[in-house]
Amino acid sequence: MQTGLDSGIETADHSKKLCLVIPTFNERNNITQLISRIQAIRDSLALSLSLLIVDDGSTDGTLDAVKEIMAHSKDVQLLERPQLLGIGSAYIDGFAYGLAQEGYDYFGEMDADLQHPPETLIEMCKVANERVDVIVASRYIEGGGSVKWSMSRRIVSKSANFLTRICVRAPVIDSTSGFRLISKRAIKGLLQTKLSARGYAFQIESLYVYRKLGMTFSEVPYVFEERKSGETKLRWKEMARFAGTAVRLGLFGLNVGKD
């Protein structure tokens, strides 16, 4: 398990390719800055990077911002969906889209709201290059943390992690983190499994699948940043579904590799 963030800069050998999937819904004020920060570290990554934006019918100009960037960057792609269908569903569609293109060795999950600092990808890609299957950016190992979280938010997050560790038994501390890199073989196994979660509960359901598939895991620290603009998509109803999925996995499991 990785417990420190190496701040040194290395040159990417580009021998392996990463498709970083970023779901969006009304993130106009964040997406341009996010992509700019990612592009600024591109040469420091140990993997060759492509971005795939999966948009769920944004109405605030997010699509216009992404298309403007695409006009000047061949490594940014866009997958448009007609409406808000859930973050888990967006990742599933994004992974399937990337696999169909061939050539990618890893796939990534990352929020569009600037709460996942792109600079953490430098260390995550280094670990991926060591043939680890699932690299999780963690708030709960040494060097990790969060910015301006209320006590109630901390309690909810730690309680969700505690419940997930009991029910899913994945060998990571931050089991609810949605900032990850996943190997191609793990993604193939995931897409061959019938998943029930289409929202945030997808994160724990997918961890369960990776563990049952015998994938290798590692964590790197990151600091969860404060949202700069827009509103969170995580509601109480979604939290209830999350808890229900964790309990169901703990009690009944999942038929991994069966779609």
What is the identity of the amino acid at 205? E
Q: Which two structure tokens, joined as six digits, stand for 27?
A: 């993130």
pLDDT at 51: 98
Residue with tokens 């827009």: 230
Residue with tokens 């050998």: 13
What is the identity of the amino acid at 113? D
DSSP-assigned letter for residue 124: H
CA distances from 6 to 138, 177, 200 (A): 15, 20, 30
A 10 A CB-CB count for 171 gives: 17
215 falls within a domain: yes
pLDDT at 4: 37
12 falls within a domain: no
Q: Which two structure tokens, joined as six digits, stand for 26?
A: 């009304």
182 SS3 class: strand
Largest CA distance in the chain: 50
CA pair distance 211, 110, nearest whole angstrom: 21
DSSP-assigned letter for residue 135: E
83 falls within a domain: yes
Residues of the chain with pLDDT under 50: 1-11
pLDDT at 179: 97
DSSP-assigned letter for residue 5: -
6 falls within a domain: no
pLDDT at 234: 54
Torsion of CA 43, 45, 49, 51, to 10 degrees: -100
Kind plus residue range of the DSSP H or E element containing 160: helix 151-168
56 neighbors 25 (Cβ within 8 angstroms):
yes
11 falls within a domain: no
pTM over 0.95: no
236 falls within a domain: yes
When divided into structural domains, the chain yields a total of: 1
Give the domain CATH number at 127.
3.90.550.10
Domain extent at residue 173: 17-252
DSSP-assigned letter for residue 131: T
pLDDT at 5: 37
22 falls within a domain: yes
Main-chain phi, psi angles of 258, to 5 degrees = -125, 115
Kind plus residue range of the DSSP H or E element containing 222: none
CA pair distance 138, 25, nearest whole angstrom: 24
87 neighbors 22 (Cβ within 8 angstroms):
no
Q: Which residues contact 253 (CB under 8 A, 6 or more apart)?
A: 208
